[in-house]
Structure 1
Amino acid sequence: MSRAERIAEIPTGPVAVPPAVRTLAGDDVVTPVWRNVLGGLTFRLDPGPGREAGGTRYVKWAPAGVPGLDLAAEAARLAWVGDRTPVPRVLDHGTDADGAWLVTQAVPGRSAVEARETGDPAGAATAIGRGLRALHEALPVASCPFTWSVADRVANADARLARGDGPAQWFPEHRGIPVAEARARLDDAPAVDRLVVCHGDACVPNTLLHDDGSFAAHVDLGSLGVADRWADLAVAAWSTEWNYGPGYDGHVYTGYGVEPDPERIAYYRLLWDLS
């Protein structure tokens, strides 16, 4: 099992549905579709009797007090994106003593992670690159109120290191680097290639594809903000290895229309891992 699968996965066993999700669902059929290691859960709500006209909804739920699962921040980002590029439309969000929730309208498409079952990971990786290029070109940097800056992410890395995180929590590519050296490398960021509004978590599962394999939409935009495009590109391509196996990263760059940049790829993967 890869580290990515330990971080997030499709539930294969029973999942306790939080009371808030039960209330939001009403008579709808509740199906757990995703969970992460922080305790966050995503449920699909399919229309029950009398709600056929309402369509399928999704509810993301995060337990109270868990850093890194800020659903209010994601709601604000989705609202800002609006209809500039295909993303879920926010229907509701809120909190109670147990946690927070974000309700969105379903968007057409299926997660690109399903390409490992359909047998076309190369095509999916190319579509991921095309979709990422479309997002970067659609969102205006000048008016974006959100940032995903190197400085902020390095501060997050420092906080993790201070809590005792280290090579045991890193990907295999970085585990042989001494902690002090890895941290020092973060202070040597490459010059910005092109500022864009980044997705912030452009991993394979967060791209939706149409049935014909073309790009459909993006989901999970809680970290969206202005950064170098390679902050997205490096991790989007890297995630194909976690989800499809080795050899598909180049298809992401081809789909995006850019040649691989080894220096920026190495830097932004290390920053991702530590932060």
Structure 2
Amino acid sequence: MNPRPPLAFVPAETRTVPASVSRMAGGQAIEAVWINQAGGTTFRIGAGTPTDRYLKYAPKGTGETDFAKEATRLEWAARHARVPEVLAVGSDESGSWLLTAALSCESAVSAQWMRRPELAARALGRGLRALHDALPVRDCPFEWSVAERLQAFEQRIAAGQRPENWSHEYSHLSIPGARELLSAPPLPLDLVVCHGDACAPNTLLDGHGNFAAHVDLGELGVADRWADLAVAAWSTAWNYGPGYEEYVYSGYGIEPDATRIGYYRMLWDLS
């Protein structure tokens, strides 16, 4: 499959700071560090200070508004894995936000790791394996099931999405054809607690390029491990360019499964 543009990116210019973000900063320095496809912005507040923290902000009317859902998942995952500490979650008439403590590590798509993509991709696989091994499936109260995601597919179709809106890998399919393919996941399911958005930007590395932590766990839940793996490897093409997927699989310690990779990438893209 051919790479596609990243769904989120580092802003190239100064962003307007919402009044609610300014109030929470309390006079400390504010920097916009990430913008997602839904129109939300992540701000860093107090960089280099003991109260260094990140605030995910979604203006009212954008798709990303349920930060309480993410906060609940972060708090559960924190019992077993290294994720940001939740400091606050809230909303007002202008938007909603999630405030978390900063971790002493950098995204796998920061400048230094963009220059060393092989190392970063391998760390991405190792970090995902560590997460899957650490989070207890039997105790997890959250799901990221195929059934739930198929409902999201149907909601998108009902809202007017058509094959011409899909990525070129799938735009040749009809809606009934896509529905038929998506309704037949590869079996048996190999269940773990999945990250839910295991793309390279959501993996943090230490100064030596080792896996350190995960962020953005708003979709965390029980699912087949390939629901994460297929997209984690795919994201290396979006972020680093072609040729690095194999390092994700080797870092994870698994051989690629073309059938499961193909299915879960389609499910990701269409749901």
Match of 1:124 in 2: 120
- For the pair 1:221 / 2:217, whether they are aligned, the reply is yes
Among 236, 252, 258, the residue aligned to 2:254:
258
Contact 2:236 2:242 in 1 (8 A): yes
1:43 aligns with 2:46: no
1:133 aligned counterpart, secondary structure? helix
1:37-81 CA-to-partner distances (Å, cap 9, x unmatched) read 211110000169xxx4x4210000112243344211000101111
Counterpart of 2:32 in 1: which secondary structure? strand
The aligned counterpart of 1:75 is: 71
Seen in structure 2, the aligned counterparts of structure 1 residues 113 and 47 have a Cα distance that, compared at 3 Å, is closer
Q: What's the TM-score once normalised by structure 1's chain length? A: 0.93
CA offsets per residue over residues 125-170 of structure 1, 9 Å max, x none? 1100000000001111111111100000000011001112133332
Q: Residues 68 and 44 of structure 1: is their aligned pair in 2 closer, same or farther, counting only changes over 3 Å?
A: closer
State whether structure 2 residue 95 is matched by structure 1 residue 99.
yes
Give the TM-score normalised by structure 2. 0.94
Q: Which has the higher helix share?
A: 1
| Aligned residue-pair number | 269
Cα distance in 2 for residues equivalent to 1:226 and 1:267 = 17
Q: Does 1:181 align with 2:177?
A: yes
Contact 1:116/1:243, CA 8 A, preserved across alignment: no
**What are the equivalent positions in structure 2 for 1:201-216 lying under 5 Å apart?**
201-216=197-212
Say which of 156, 160, 164 aligns to 2:160.
164
* 8 Å Cα contact 2:11/2:35 also seen in 1: yes
In the superposition, relative to structure 1, how do residues 242 and 47 fare at CA in structure 2: closer, same or farther (>3 Å)? closer
Kept in 1, the 8 Å contact 2:40–2:62? The answer is no
| 1:12 is the counterpart of 2:12 | yes
Judge conservation of contact 2:108–2:114 (CA < 8 Å) in 1.
no
Which residue of the partner structure matches residue 138 of structure 2? 142
Provide the rounded CA distance (Å) in 2 between the counterparts of 1:229 and 1:118: 26
Deviations 1:211-264 (A, max 9, x none): 111101100000000101000000000110100111111111110001111111
Displacement of 1:190? 0.9
User: Which segment drifts farther, 86-95 or 12-21?
Assistant: 12-21
CA–CA distance in structure 2, aligned partners of residues 167 and 193 of structure 1: 28
Aligned match of 1:151 in 130, 147, 150?
147
Instruction: Supply the distance in 2 between the matched residues of 1:118 and 1:190 (Cα, whole angstroms).
Output: 33
Listed one character per residue, the Cα deviations across residues 7-26 of structure 1 (whole Å, up to 9, x for unaligned) are 31111123111111111101
- Please tell me whether the aligned partners of residues 9 and 36 of structure 2 are also in contact (alpha carbons under 8 angstroms): yes
Give the gaps of 5 or more residues in structure 2: none
Give the Cα separation in 1 of the matches to 2:94 and 2:203. Answer: 29
Distance 1:107 1:42 in 2: 15
CA RMSD of aligned residues (A): 1.7
CA contact (8 A) 1:196 1:228 kept: yes
**Gap regions ≥5 residues in structure 1:** none
**Paired residues of 1:192 and 1:228 also in contact (CA < 8 A):** no
- Cα separation, partners in 2 of 1:262 and 1:69, compared to 1, 3 Å: farther
Q: Measure, in 2, the Cα distance between the counterparts of 1:171 and 1:192.
A: 28
Identity within the alignment, %: 54
Q: Give SS of 2:99's match.
A: strand
Match of 2:24 in 1: 24
Name the SS of the counterpart of 2:109 in structure 1: helix
Name the CA distance, whole Å, in 1 between partners of 2:159 and 2:205: 38
Q: 1 CA distance for matches of 2:163 and 2:242? A: 22
Quote the Cα distance in structure 2 between the aligned partners of 1:56 and 1:219: 16
In the alignment, the residues of structure 2 paired with residue 271 and residue 93 of structure 1 have an alpha-carbon distance, to the nearest angstrom, of 30
